[in-house]
Amino acid sequence: MQNTIVGVLRKVPLFDGLDDTVLSRIVAAMSTQTFVQGQVIIQKGNVCQVDSSFYVIKTGQVRVQGIVMGGSKFLDQILGPGEYFGESALKEDYYKDIKRNATIVSESKKTVLLSLSKADFNELVGSLGDLLKNAGERRMLVALPIFKRLHLGHDELDALTSRIVDSDFDLGHCFFMENSVVKSPALYFIRSGSVTVTTIVGRTTILREGAYFGDDMLYEKSEGSDHQSKETIIAHADCCIGVLKLDTILQALNRESLLTGESQLRLSVKWGERRAGNNESSGFEEKLKFKKHAMLGEGGFGKVWLVTVDEQEPNDFNDKNKRKMFALKVQSKRMILDRNVVEFMVREKYILESLDSPFIMKLVHSFSDENNIYLLNNFIPGGELHTLLYERDRQLIGALGNQYGLHERDAKFYAAGVLSGLSHMHTRNILYRDLKPENVLLDHRGYPVLVDLGFAKVVPMKTFTMCGTPSYLAPEVITQRGHDKGADHWSLGVLIFELITGTKPFSHKNTLKLFNIICKGKFSSTTNGLSTEAKDLVYKLLMVQAKKRLGSLSGGNKDIYDHTWFEDIDFGRLLSREIKSPWKPEVRDTFDVKNFGVFNGEADEEENNKPLCPEEHAMFEAIIWG
C-alpha cells in the first residue's frame, strides 16, 4: 500500500524534485481518517492556517463543489481512490488570509482518507521549502567526484546538505593563497557572485553561481604534512557561498577519512581475494596460518577464538591496519544449514564489509573449509559494557547510590559512541536491531564498539521481521507493523536508561506481559535516577508512536545529536579519539584476555556432523566470494 501512495505523491506537482525516500517519509507521517456520506472534509472559505491538511483518497469518493477560481465558477468534480486534494495548504507562502476555494464532502457511504496537516508535515518531515532545497543539493553533491565514488546513501547526503553553512564574503576576500597552508579545508559552493582562480602558471578562471571549489583540499594528505593550496582563489565580487568543512564532512559521515573505504577495498584484494574463474581454494588460507590462543566465546553455530597470524604474513599487508591479535569466528556450515540461517550469514558478511566506523567491529577477511566458515575480525580487548555495568569492581558507580548504574557523565560517553555507530549504519540504510550492553565491547582505549551484526539488515523503507532482545524491542517490532531506524533509537533510549539506573525501563518475567508493558510505554522502573535532560531524552526516544520519536522527525539523527543531554559531547573529538574514556581496560599485553570470560575448548574443531553435498557447499560461496 505504501508504494501505491508513493506513486500518487509522485504525481503531485508540489512534490516535484523529492525522491522516493522523502515521499516514503511523507506517507509514514500520514494518518487515516474516515468520513461518512455527506460529511464535510474541507469547507469553502476556511482559512488555510486553520484548515491546513493535505489528503489522499484511500477508498471511496469525494465531491468537490462550489469551485470558484479567478472569479469563474466550475462544475463539481468527483475524485476517487488514488487521487488527492488540499496540497496547496502545505505551501510555504500560504498565510492566514488565504482561504479554501471549494467545499469537499464525502460522496460514498464510507470514505477513507490519508491526511497530513501542515504542522505535522513540518515536524515529522520538514518544511517543504527545505526539502526541495535539500533535494537539489543532494543531486549536486552526488555529482561531485569526491562523493560519487563513496556511493553515499540518502541519509548521508542529507547529513551533508544540512551542514552546509551559507556565508557572505566581500569583494577581494582571499579563500586560498598559492602554496599557503590551509588550516581548515572545506568545500565551497557559490550561491551568488563570483571568484577568480589563478593557477601556478598564471592562468586565471572565473567561477560563478553554481560552481564549487576547494574539493582538492579534502583528499587525504601525506602523514605529517599540511594541506597546501595549489591555487590562489579570491572573491571577484561580493559573494554568498555555502561552506562545508572537512571535519564537518567526516563527522557527518562518521568516517576518519574520505579514503578509508578505498583503503579497505585495496586491503581486501591484497589479502588473497579469489578472482572470478579461479577454481583453486582460497589463497588467503594458503598464505596465512592461524594459531589459536584462547576461546573467547561459544554460540549456537560455533566458537570465537583469539588468534595470531603466522609471522609469514604477506609483505603487502598494510602496516596501518596491521594487528597481531584477531578474533576468529568459526561457524559450522552444517548447523547453519540445519537452522536455515544461511541468508543471515551472507547478510552479516556483506554488511560488515560495507561499514567503516571506529564504533563498529571490523571484518578483516572471511574464508571457509569443508566444515566451517571463518570470519576474521579485529580483536576488541576491553570486554563487554555489560560486564563494566554489572560485574566489575568499578569506581564508576552512580552518584545517586544505585546498586548498579554508571555516573551519568560516563553513561553519556558510552551512549555517544553507540549513537555514532548506529548513525553510521543508518546513513547506509542498515538497521542494527540487537542493541544491548552485551553487544557493546570496549576497545583498548575504553571506547564502545558495536559487535554481533547477525540481525543487522539493509532496509530502505521498513521491515516486518520480529527479532532482537525482548526488553529492548520497540512497540512496532513487537506488533510487526513495520519498523525502520526508529526501532534502533528506541533501543538507544532503553540503553541510556539502563546505563544510568542499572535497571531496564521495561521488565517482566513473562515475555507476553513484558511486550504488553512495552507497547503501552509504561515504565517498570522509576526515572528518579535521571537528570532532567536525560529524562527528557529518554522519554523522547521511548515514544510509543514511532513517527513522533526523536530521530524519526524532520531532523533525523541530528535531533538526537543536538539534544541538550549531549551538548557537552564534542562528536568530532569523539570520532578522532581525543576524549578521555571513563575507564581504560588494563591490558597487560596483546595476549591478555582477562576482560573476557574465557572458555575451555579444544583447539581443533571436532564438529564434523553430516558432510555437505556440492549444492550445499555452493550456498556458502556467496558468503566468501559473492
Judge contact between 268 and 262, C-beta under 8 A: no
> How many Cβ atoms sit within 10 Å of the Cβ of residue 274?
16
Q: Which of 51, 434, 484, 488 is catalytic?
A: 434
Judge whether 504 and 524 are in contact, CB under 8 Å. Answer: yes
Q: Indicate the DSSP class of residue 216.
A: G
- The crossing angle, in degrees rounded to 10, of helices 128-142 and 154-161 is 110
* Catalytic residue status for 434: yes
Among 583, 623, 3, smallest CA distance to 372 is for 623
Question: With contact defined as beta carbons under 8 Å apart, do 298 and 304 qualify?
Answer: yes
Q: What is the DSSP letter of 333?
A: H
From CA 591, how far away is CA 594, in angstroms rounded?
9
Rounded Cα distance, 310 and 210, in Å = 55
Q: What dihedral do alpha carbons 252, 253, 256, 258 form, nearest 10°?
A: -120
The residue written with cell numbers 455527506 in the block is: 38
Which cell numbers in the block locate residue 59? 477508498
How far apart are alpha carbons 187 and 164 in whole angstroms? Answer: 9
CA distance 211 to 143: 12
Reported as type and span, the H/E element at residue 493 is helix 486-501
Nearest to 434 by CA among 415, 448, 418, 453: 453
Site of grid cell 469525494: 62
- The SS3 call for residue 350 is helix
DSSP code per residue over 224-291: T---B-SSEEEESS-EEEEEEEHHHHHHHHT-S-TTHHHHHHHHHHHTTPPPTT--SPPHHHHH--EE
**Strand 440-442 and strand 68-69: pairing?**
unpaired
Q: Catalytic site residues?
A: 434
